[in-house]
Structure 1
Amino acid sequence: MYDNLCKYLIEQFPEDFATWLLGETIALAELSPKELSNEPIRADSLILLQGPDIILHVEFQTRPDPKMGQRMADYFLRVHRKFPNKRMHQVVVYLQKTNSPLVKENKFKAGKMQHGFNVVRLWEKPIEDFLESPGLLPLALLSQTSDSVEQAEEAQQLEVLRRVAQRIELIPDQETRANLNAATAVFAGLKLKPELVFRILRSKTMEESAVYQEILRQGEQRGIEKGLREGRQKGRQEGRIGILRQIIPFLQGFGVPIEPLLKFVGITLAELNLEEEQAEKD
């Protein structure tokens, strides 16, 4: 889910990310990984954008990957082979705070070969970096919090979420607001309980947003993939139920009607074991 949300943000707001990651405002267009090689390439978290003389390669990660350096070197060579006259800027953005030394690694060595790349740990970046650009707003809650001992961490995060919500409400376009609200809620879920997020973020147009539609698509796809792996229809149904158990409370918190979704997938609230929770909320 986080991979696709990050892809959505950077593809919809390329100039915001160019200014943040490159330090310059330039026009960037999406570059498909398929253009680099006929060989298989891992594209689930790979984001490539190109400008007149530059390629921006960004990877968003929720957890450390011991093979990240090797992947970055591999992608660099593929891009260089295809676009030898363009400079390449590579960034790994880690979303969740961790003490793993892997998130500090920014080089890959193999024999005499050495390749370097950039690393951004969001929890070390000041909040102000994310509050002035619409495309970066959903990431603000994952940035650096105050060191003040007088304010609990949860209270600080709620205050940041309020500031983000206020800025999103100033955006004129309704669809953009709905998408950014949904993306912000998902990322906020990495730091806060859903009920706290729902108190601040509300959107009646959530079901019309691209982010909402992507959540539905992922739920369907996960069910299909599990069914294929197990070779029986039960896998598909179990996959749907599993993802819906996560999604339904999220949607209910925003006041989004869930009946059309349940009817579409052919599952009842009772089958999700969420009937009692719904009754309590009613």
Structure 2
Amino acid sequence: MSYDNACKYLAERFPADFTRWLLGTETARIRVLKTELDLEPIRADSVSFLRVGDRILHLEFETDPYSKPPIPFRMLDYSVRLKRKYDRDVEQFVIFLQQSSNEIVFTTEYRDRTTVHQYNVIRLWEQDPAIFLDNPGLLPLAVLTKSDSPRTLLERVAERLDRIENTQRRQGVAACTGILAGLRLEANLIRSILRVDIMRQSAFYQDIIQEGRQDEALLFVTRLLQRKFGEIDVVIQEKIRSLSVEELENLGEDLLEFSAVADLEAWLG
């Protein structure tokens, strides 16, 4: 999850860098669009939508080619929804972060008996690192690009990080670099090359840590509830997912005294 969030963070804070890379254009007319469509919520953790001039740039970041529904169908679905909502041409890019030989990684269209829909696929491990090293918003992705020595590549990224003058921007980019480098390098090596203190000062890094705590607390409470009451109603599950870490921890303590699902509903109320 944190890998997707890191990419989303970068795309939405450095949209010009991504537009320059993927579309080969320079424009000041870029606006980040909300990552929700009318029909139902989408996977906001891995998807970014940018309005670039008179078209929509849809970016989807993936570490795993397996998904339900499959990626090709999902790209068709998103394209139709975006056209319906914004009445603009849609440029779609699925960006695979981690090397894979799965056929989906090499698939660029959805096809059935009556429909053909095409989209773009980027396999980062095949990309030249040059453009990534020259754009701050792409720097964290550089370590996943083509290289005989990922360590040397990360060292070059670290040098570029030190050149970012804005402290807040440097912290955010460093945090994303540390997270994404974990897809290719060992944690100890990453810590020895990157300045961990800079990463940890980033608000984005703190959000990721908090999210990890929330995921762990949610999993723990869900397991306890299932053991006590069996399958929980979907509406109740949604209410539980919206709880903060502290609220989940309190629920974990209080549910030991619950004797029926009604007690849980009253607590949530």
- Aligned pair partner of 1:185 in 178, 187, 191: 178
The number of equivalent residue pairs is 224
| Aligned 8 A contact 1:178 1:203 in 2 | no
Task: Give me the whole-angstrom Cα distance separating, in 2, the residues matched to 1:29 and 1:127.
Answer: 26
Task: Give me the whole-angstrom Cα distance separating, in 2, the residues matched to 1:162 and 1:208.
Answer: 20
- Aligned pair partner of 1:217 in 188, 210, 227: 210
- Counterpart amino acid of residue 51 in structure 1: V
Superposition deviation, residue 228 in structure 1 = 4.4
| Aligned 8 A contact 1:62 1:95 in 2 | yes
| Aligned 8 A contact 2:93 2:120 in 1 | yes
Name 2:244's counterpart in structure 1: none
Name 2:51's counterpart in structure 1: 50
Task: Give me the whole-angstrom Cα distance separating, in 2, the residues matched to 1:83 and 1:225.
Answer: 36
Superposition deviation, residue 231 in structure 1 = 4.2
Superposition deviation, residue 40 in structure 1 = 4.0
Name 1:17's counterpart in structure 2: 18
Where 2:22 maps in the other structure, the secondary structure is: helix
What pairs up with 1:67-78 in 2 under 5 angstroms? 67-78=70-81
Where 1:33 maps in the other structure, the secondary structure is: coil
- Counterpart amino acid of residue 60 in structure 1: F
Where 2:197 maps in the other structure, the secondary structure is: coil
Measured at CA, do residues 174 and 33 of structure 1 come closer, stay the same or move farther in structure 2, by a change above 3 Å?
closer
Runs of 5+ in structure 2 lacking a partner? 228-248, 250-269
Task: Give me the whole-angstrom Cα distance separating, in 1, the residues matched to 2:158 and 2:184.
Answer: 16
1:157 maps to 2:159: no
Runs of 5+ in structure 1 lacking a partner? 147-155, 235-264, 266-282
**1:31-76 Cα distance to aligned partner (Å, 9 max, x none):** 1133x31334333312111133010101000011360000000000
Task: Give me the whole-angstrom Cα distance separating, in 1, the residues matched to 2:214 and 2:190.
Answer: 27
Q: Please, what TM-score do these two structures have when normalized by structure 1?
A: 0.75
| Aligned 8 A contact 1:139 1:184 in 2 | yes
Task: Give me the whole-angstrom Cα distance separating, in 2, the residues matched to 1:201 and 1:76.
Answer: 38
Name 1:254's counterpart in structure 2: none
Task: Give me the whole-angstrom Cα distance separating, in 2, the residues matched to 1:223 and 1:176.
Answer: 29
Task: Give me the whole-angstrom Cα distance separating, in 1, the residues matched to 2:171 and 2:195.
Answer: 9
- Aligned pair partner of 1:122 in 121, 124, 148: 124
- Runs of 4+ in structure 1 deviating by more than 3 angstroms, as ranges, are 231-234
Name 1:237's counterpart in structure 2: none
| Aligned 8 A contact 2:178 2:199 in 1 | no
What pairs up with 1:1-282 in 2 under 5 angstroms? 1-26=2-27, 27-34=29-36, 36-65=37-66, 67-84=70-87, 86-146=88-148, 156-232=149-225
Measured at CA, do residues 169 and 105 of structure 1 come closer, stay the same or move farther in structure 2, by a change above 3 Å?
same
